[in-house]
Amino acid sequence: MTSPKGAATLSATSLSTQEHKDSGGAPAEGERINLNVTDWNDEAFFKIKRTTKLDKLMKVFCDRQGKDPFKVRFLFDGWKVLQGDTPEKLGMRDGDIIEVMRVYA
């Protein structure tokens, strides 16, 4: 699916569905957060739990966009996002943006 700007839009349905199965029930609405992941070419939107480790989101983004996870860095407010980080831990709010930057060796 492509947005009007030509940026690819991802669905995080598989991510949300798996979380729902793992939790054993539907989470409260306030437990989910909408995040925008963007790089130099693509933009993706994810709806995940505030307690979900962001490595899941990073893996899905790289897989769907065909990016090598070892050649990109995910940044939030200028700080590197680590695999064990969660939206809750980083103080993310609904609609926040995670930037994806190329890594040059």
Q: For 9-71, where are the E strands, in sequence order?
A: 32-38, 43-49
Per residue in 21-78, pLDDT (tens digit) is 444 544 455 689 999 999 988 899 999 999 999 999 999 999 999 999 999 999 999 9
pLDDT confidence of residue 15? 53
The neighbouring-strand residues paired with 43 are 38
Fold category of 13-102 in CATH = Ubiquitin-like (UB roll) (3.10.20)
The three-point CA angle 28-33-37 to 5° equals 155
The neighbouring-strand residues paired with 96 are none
Per residue in 28-40, pLDDT (tens digit) is 556 899 999 999 8
Q: Where are the domains of the chain?
A: 13-102
CA distance 42 to 40: 6
CA distance 87 to 98: 11
